[in-house]
Amino acid sequence: MLQFILRRIAISAVILVLGSALMYFATINSGDPLQDLRETRAENREQLIEARIRNMNLDMPWWQRYLTWLTGAGKCLVLQCDLGTTRDGANVNSLLLGAAGASLRLVALSVALAIIIGITLGVLSAIRQYSGFDYSITFLAFLFFSLPVFWAAVLLKDFGAIRFNNWMADPQLTTVAMGVIAIVFGLLIASVLGGDIRRQALTFLVTAGVVFGAVFWFDRIGWWRQPALGLPLIIVGGLAALAFFLVLTVGLQHRRILYAGLGTLAVGVVSYFLVQPLIQDPSWGLVLLLALVSAAVGAAIGWFFGGFEKKTSMVVNIGTALAFGFLVFMDQLLRNWAGFLDVAPQGRPIGTIGDARIPSERLEGNFWIEIYNWGVQLILPTIVLTLISIAGYSRYTRASMLETINQDYIRTARSKGLSDRVVYTKHALRNALIPITTIVAFDFAALLGGAVITETIFGWKGLGAIFRDGLNTVDPGPVMAYYLVAGGAAVLMNMLADIAYAFLDPRIRR
């Protein structure tokens, strides 16, 4: 395995060097970097031209300039990058760090959401092949996959930001809107739970009725401007998380682990009141500490009450404890939404252009409002990137899962009397994820280097912006910095995919 990795690194390095030479040559021959100065009537025209020639090393032959850049880029291996300067004398290293940070904020969150949601939908779609749920997911996947990015982004800016901000000034829902929301949730839950026509109809009616009543109540109490989950909804969410982890592991019939999970929720309810003074204005260190404590408490309860399946019980209880803690976190975050509306410019919380935040002196040092200040700019571009990625993940996962569950070893597992839950989660899913690993790796690299359109529409100063600006000004410095990150990410993620294969399928290690 080590020899394989070293060989791949060597081959990838050669490819990166050859690609960088081609990129550099294409960039410097795409126009004249001095054209704007030659056409200017400024009195210091000659001095400006001399300064740009000095900044871009235009007095050297192109191959010498490329070797200078390659030498500086090679120093990145020892964390001493020297990527030169832009045509205006700005340091490319500093420019790249700021742009990469902005792009990573977008890509990391969108990829994580797309992986979780897309793979989950793909697995459920494969298990319920040719059902109403399967047809719905297939239709939505093809719809999102075929959406032009620029069109989806502009549409989302209109409805998700401009009209939403207008609505937040006096948020009220009509009866028709409440009915539409109830019908959508009813159809969604009914299709997910499945069953015969009678059971789906009953599920739809109950879900639609409950959702309509909840939305009606929220609208009457002004929940949209002063939201909160409250302890009852947190408990319901905790029970749902417990049921989810039980279904994935041992099933709802395992009483011992079920009672242990209920005990974890009981401890969570008591802790909800104890931690309230601590989370009014915490720090990230305190939030992380509370998460670790929650996981430790869940693990301890799972160990002591797990019986002969202590490991599985610990997994279920840790997941339940972290889910309960996350709901408490979200409850406190929602309670501070009204405070953020007070400091948002003109009461319009969702920004449409750029990733600029409200000055810190207006935030009064509140931890929760600072999260809104950091995160609201991410919402719209993240939704665009996530929806497009979800479409691909769900389709690939469905195809891989269908191929896997038709294999002989799956039929053998069923013939042994194993339940569908065990067959799907412990036998089929792990093998079905092997081809998905490649998609995940390349999707992350592609989003990191290819979110140019999304960043342009939303005005983000990320890697896409410096790449576009470098091309427009015939400046190879920013373009090559973009190539270094995008190409390096592609190589690194491909390597991680190869290593992940060995963990998913031990046969590949040989």
- Residue 347 and residue 456 share a domain: no
- For the segment 420-440, the average pLDDT, to the nearest whole number, is 79
Q: 294-348 pLDDT, tens per residue?
A: 999 999 999 998 877 888 899 999 999 999 999 999 999 999 998 888 888 777 8
13 lies in which domain range?
A: 2-97+445-509
Whether pLDDT at 362 is above 60: no
Same domain, 236 and 207: no
Is the domain of 151 the same as that of 182? no
Proportion of the chain above pLDDT 90, given as a percent: 27
Report whether 410 contacts 404 (CB < 8 A): yes
Shared domain for 341 and 239, answered yes or no, is: yes
Same domain flag for 304 and 433: yes
Q: Exposed, middle or buried, 468 (CB in 10 Å: 0-12/13-18/19+)?
A: middle
Are residues 345 and 492 located together in one domain of the fold? no
Same domain, 84 and 186: no
Which among 381, 403, 437 is the end of a domain?
437
Q: Which residues of 85-97 are buried (b: 16+ CB within 10 A; e: fewer)?
A: bbbeeeebbebbe
Regarding whether 105 and 93 lie in a shared domain, the answer is no
pLDDT tier for residue 3 given thresholds of 50, 70 and 90: confident
Give pLDDT tens digits for 390-417.
Answer: 888 898 899 989 988 888 888 888 888 8
Task: Give every CB contact of residue 402 below 8 A, 6+ residues apart in sequence.
Answer: 126, 129
CB-neighbour burial class of residue 126 (10 A; exposed 0-12, middle 13-18, buried 19+): buried
Q: What is the pLDDT of residues 439-471, one digit of tens each?
A: 777 777 776 665 777 888 887 888 888 888 888
**Whether residues 81 and 200 fall in one domain:** no
**Domain termination residue (choose one: 393, 420, 437):** 437
Q: Could you read off the pLDDT of 76-122 as tens digits, one per residue?
A: 877 788 888 888 888 888 888 888 887 888 888 888 888 889 988 99
| Average model confidence (pLDDT) across the chain | 85
Residue 510 has pLDDT above 70, yes or no: no
Query: Cα(376)–Cα(379) distance, rounded to whole angstroms?
Result: 5
**386 and 319 share one domain:** yes
Total count of domains within the chain: 3
pLDDT number for residue 503: 67
Q: Helices marked H in 29-131 — which ranges?
A: 35-38, 45-56, 62-74, 92-127
Q: Which of 194, 221, 248 is the last residue of a domain?
A: 221
Regarding whether 404 and 342 lie in a shared domain, the answer is: yes
8 Å CB contact between 237 and 323: yes
Q: Are residues 59 and 129 in the same domain?
A: no
**For 208-220, how does the pLDDT look when each residue is reduced to its tens digit (9 = 90+)?**
999 999 999 999 9
Q: What pLDDT is recorded for position 41?
A: 80
